[in-house]
Chains A and B, each alone.
Chain A
Amino acid sequence: IPRASDSQCPACKGPAMDLDHQRELLLDLAKRRILDKLRLSQRPTLNTPVSRAALRTALQRLHGPPQRTLPEADGEQEYEIISFADTGLSNINQTRLDFHFSSDRTASGMEIQQASLMFFVQIPPNTTWTLKLRILVVGLRDTNLTLATQHQLEVDASGWQRLFLGPEAQAACSQGHLTLELVAESQGGQSSIILGEAAHRPFVTAKVKVGGKHRLHRR
């Protein structure tokens, strides 16, 4: 934007403009630039705000300081996403977790690099619990959920648990919706051992690449 009327840069044929108008133009340019680079058509409106406690807990667990990754040659953008679960109790020993990944990114070809589930268990002292994690995916022909795969883990102390999710779960994340079920082999517990209130809300962390050209997979 030229600073004075006589400083016409050949590329900017416009007349010099007053500072207020210039500021307004620059703010609009900055907004558009950020939205374009985030592949958003407009700024998101938040339907379910996240509590500060959940935000703080999740950010403490997100991988360390952002590794300054140089942008890929073919314009891919790397993201790290934390998705909080919509939790539903099927019964005392069975907790269903639903995760939604924004269609803004799935539309432009989201490639999940790595994904893991973080959840908090509260068990009585000096006990060991067996937990089964089921990955459920929508069937090809119908909308029912079918079991894609299952992991088992032994828990002998309360605290945060991390489970790395395999290709089936990563594929479900790429499609935009992941459903997991945590089943505790009960020792007659009176309440669910998976905590879900604000500071202990289960979440999935995922490293994602978006927008590259079709990558040749070397075999």
Chain B
Amino acid sequence: GINCQGGSRMCCRQEFFVDFREIGWHDWIIQPEGYAMNFCTGQCPLHVAGMPGIAASFHTAVLNLLKANTASGTAGGGSCCVPTARRPLSLLYYDRDSNIVKTDIPDMVVEACGCS
């Protein structure tokens, strides 16, 4: 799975929901009631670098170990846990002239994480 569970330390998606009522924005944001921002966290050891998602198959891991061992001599920065899939956030809100505005903001919700 791609969600961070229990003690998993590998790169994964940490769910994080912002409740607009909790932050006092429910008066001007009509819909939705909150924003599932989510974020990526965890480690990216070299043998899973470049994995699109964290579900690295055994075969891929072996291939990457070979790659990593040969590559370990090369100078190379760490691999980072970053978003690999995101979707828009649809908002319905009041602007300061009390007009109702509807818009889709692209790339606001992190759906999956992977190692760069």
Contacts and interface: CB of A to CB of B under 8 A. Distances in A.
Given A66-B102, A105-B95, 14 more contacts: A9-B78, A29-B37, A30-B16, A31-B23, A44-B28, A46-B27, A46-B96, A47-B96, A48-B98, A58-B100, A68-B104, A77-B103, A80-B103, A84-B99
B100 to A, nearest CB: 4
Contact of A80 (B35, B37, B102): B102
B101 A80 contact: yes
Most buried by A among B25, B28, B41, B101: B101
Contact of B99 (A1, A30, A59, A101): A101
B42 interface: yes
Most buried by A among B4, B91, B95: B95
A199 to B, nearest CB: 15
Interface in A63-87: 66, 68-71, 77-84
Interface in B71-109: 77-78, 80-81, 88-106, 108
A47 B98 contact: yes
B96 to A, nearest CB: 4
Contacts of B97: 83, 100-102
Category for how many chain A residues contact B: 35 or more
A50 B28 CA distance: 11
Interface of B: 4, 9, 16, 18, 23, 25, 27-28, 30, 35, 37, 39, 41-44, 77-78, 80-81, 88-106, 108
Nearest to B4: A3
B52 to A, nearest CB: 18
Contacts of A70: 106
Nearest to B98: A48
Give me the 10 closest cross-chain CB pairs, A-B, nearest first: A44-B96, A10-B78, A82-B100, A71-B106, A102-B95, A100-B97, A83-B99, A37-B105, A80-B102, A30-B18
A18 B79 CA distance: 24
A50 B91 CA distance: 17
A4 B9 contact: yes
